[in-house]
């Protein structure tokens, strides 16, 4: 197969999602000759089927809630329902604008963009629809797809994934959501705002089970108040069609019925049938295995993003792609501290965190060496104005640094930026307490929590 490019690229990237395009942009910026291969649309899952469209739906839901509840602020409004076509137009316009901007960026950096289905054909080449693209190094960034369970057939109408949910042509009257992680609770939140009767099924003991248990309990309390139902601690057994929808049976025999079943049990890597194993790339349960510098066991191949067993977050993909590009360009690179990555679940209320949970801290440092403090947002003026409830919880090594910040409440995702600085710079509570936070802001609550942890609380009790 001929190399039609008549050149050997410094870097050939298979996959144009968050990790792939970040590596392409940074690599080109550093003078590397880069080829970027994508079979669908530049931007990948995050832009077209993940982060951006789901947050657009959640914002539309927030606007709906504000219209219903405006009277509590002294504003008279009327809510006449959801125009799902209008919601999709709004969502698609957001995506379209970002997509055009990204295409312009790639073109401006002089990245060679190749549309087509790629297949790893050697440790230094990718075949794309009859064309061989050669590179000194290959980066695998083929992302992920929604997972299902054995015997659970996705039909795209009654039993759907998040991909289908993003383009559903109706607001379902009722929905069962299988999975209470990030994807599940975000759709539960959006659909409830749209007027859907929602039930979440989660096999673990809590919603958002990877978060600090206190955050999970606060979210569960908020969901109960919103009328979002959930069943915890029992796993799914089977699903069958009814006359008008779907019936779900759990392992304990309990049953639930609804118009649709959203399967939101996570996303799995796209690695099968792409030539990875044939070229000797180590794979475990579909995930490409890498070291802390994103290198595979094949010296000329790296991998990033949802394809590798790290946090499935777009901003993690960005960071991993940048790391690879800088390493290949000869810059000094530092491995990513995944505990230091900010994590946000954009339901209502939001759940945001950085660092480790209290349970993990006790496991690492010992229960007697860990201090935890909770600051209730009821004491924060801006949160009171917004009528949001929640808490900020700090986890500290006794007489040492803050190793975990866990926040629940509307707009807490906007506070996680300072929280990641606190964690990543190993700040002491007294050091954060010296900083002046603007009043009245929700950001002030983060400062107040550190004042309290430093032993000098202001708007909270001793």
Task: Kindly name the residue from 206, 348, 406, 439 that is annotated as catalytic.
Answer: 439
Q: How far apart are CA 202 and CA 230, in angstroms?
A: 8
CA-based angle 25:31:37, to the nearest 5?
45
Q: What is the DSSP letter of 269?
A: E
DSSP per-residue codes, 6-71: -SEEEEEEE--SHHHHHHHHHHHHTT--EEEEESS-TTHHHHHHSHHHHHHHHHHHHHHHHHHHGG
**Taking Cα atoms as reference points, which of 191, 175, 181, 164 lies closest to residue 62?**
191
CA-based angle 140:141:142, to the nearest 5?
105
Within 8 A by CB and 6+ apart from 111, the residues are 24, 25, 28, 34, 35, 36
Within 8 A by CB and 6+ apart from 270, the residues are 142, 143, 144, 145, 306, 307
CA-based angle 416:182:382, to the nearest 5?
40
Q: Which long-range contacts (CB under 8 A, 24 or more apart) does 449-457 make?
A: 449/373, 449/375, 449/392, 449/394, 450/394, 450/402, 450/422, 452/373, 452/375, 453/371, 453/373, 453/394, 453/396, 453/402, 453/429, 454/428, 454/429, 454/430
**Taking Cα atoms as reference points, which of 305, 255, 298 lies closest to residue 278?**
298
350 half-sphere exposure, CB direction, 13 A CA radius: 20
Q: Coil, strand or helix: which one is 309?
A: coil
Q: Which H/E stretch holds residue 389?
A: none
Q: How far apart are CA 99 and CA 48, in angstroms?
A: 9
Q: Is 206 a catalytic residue?
A: no
- Overall residue count recorded for the chain in this entry: 462
Q: How far apart are CA 283 and CA 296, in angstroms?
A: 9
Dihedrals phi, psi of 334, to nearest 5 degrees? -120, 130
Hey, which residues are catalytic here? 439
């Amino acid at each position: 197969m001929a190399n039609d490019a008549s050149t050997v690229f410094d870097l050939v990237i298979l996959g144009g999602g968050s990790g792939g395009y970040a590596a392409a942009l940074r690599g080109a910026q550093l003078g590397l000759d880069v080829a970027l291969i994508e079979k669908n649309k530049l931007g990948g899952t995050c832009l077209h089927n993940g982060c951006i469209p789901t947050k657009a739906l959640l914002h539309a839901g927030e606007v709906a809630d504000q219209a219903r509840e405006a009277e509590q602020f002294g504003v008279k409004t009327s809510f006449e329902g959801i125009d799902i076509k209008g919601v999709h137009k709004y969502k698609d316009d957001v995506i379209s604008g970002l997509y055009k901007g990204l295409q312009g960026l790639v073109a401006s950096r002089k990245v060679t963009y190749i549309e087509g289905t790629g297949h790893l054909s050697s440790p230094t080449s990718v075949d794309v629809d009859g064309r061989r693209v050669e590179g000194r190094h290959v980066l695998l960034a083929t992302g992920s797809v929604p997972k299902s369970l054995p015997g659970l057939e996705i039909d795209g109408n009654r039993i759907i994934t998040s991909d289908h949910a993003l383009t559903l042509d109706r607001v379902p009257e009722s929905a069962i959501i299988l999975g209470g992680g990030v994807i599940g609770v975000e759709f539960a939140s959006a659909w409830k705002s749209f007027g859907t009767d929602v039930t979440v099924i989660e096999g673990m003991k809590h919603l958002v089970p990877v978060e600090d248990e206190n955050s999970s309990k606060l979210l569960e309390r908020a969901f109960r108040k919103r009328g979002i139902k959930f069943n915890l601690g029992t796993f799914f057994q089977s699903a069958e069609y009814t006359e008008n929808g779907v019936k779900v049976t759990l392992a304990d025999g309990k049953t639930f019925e609804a118009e649709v079943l959203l399967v939101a049990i996570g996303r799995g890597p796209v690695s099968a049938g792409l030539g990875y194993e044939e070229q000797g790339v180590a794979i475990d349960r579909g995930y490409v295995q890498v070291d802390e510098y994103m290198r595979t066991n094949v010296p000329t191949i790296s991998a990033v993003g949802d394809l590798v067993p790290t946090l499935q977050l777009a901003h993690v993909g960005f960071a991993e792609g940048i790391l690879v590009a800088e390493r290949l360009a000869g810059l000094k690179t530092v491995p990513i501290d995944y505990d230091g990555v900010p994590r946000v679940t954009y339901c209502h209320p939001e759940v945001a965190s950085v660092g480790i949970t209290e349970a993990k801290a006790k496991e690492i440092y010992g229960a007697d060496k860990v201090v935890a403090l909770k600051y209730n947002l009821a004491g924060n003026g801006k949160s009171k104005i917004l009528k949001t409830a929640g808490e900020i919880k700090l986890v500290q090594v006794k007489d040492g640094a803050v190793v975990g910040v866990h926040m629940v409440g509307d707009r807490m995702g906007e506070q996680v930026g300072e929280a990641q600085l606190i964690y990543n710079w190993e700040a002491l509570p007294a050091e954060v307490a010296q900083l002046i936070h603007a009043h009245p802001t929700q950001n002030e609550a983060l400062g107040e929590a550190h004042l309290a942890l430093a032993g000098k609380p202001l708007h909270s009790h001793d």
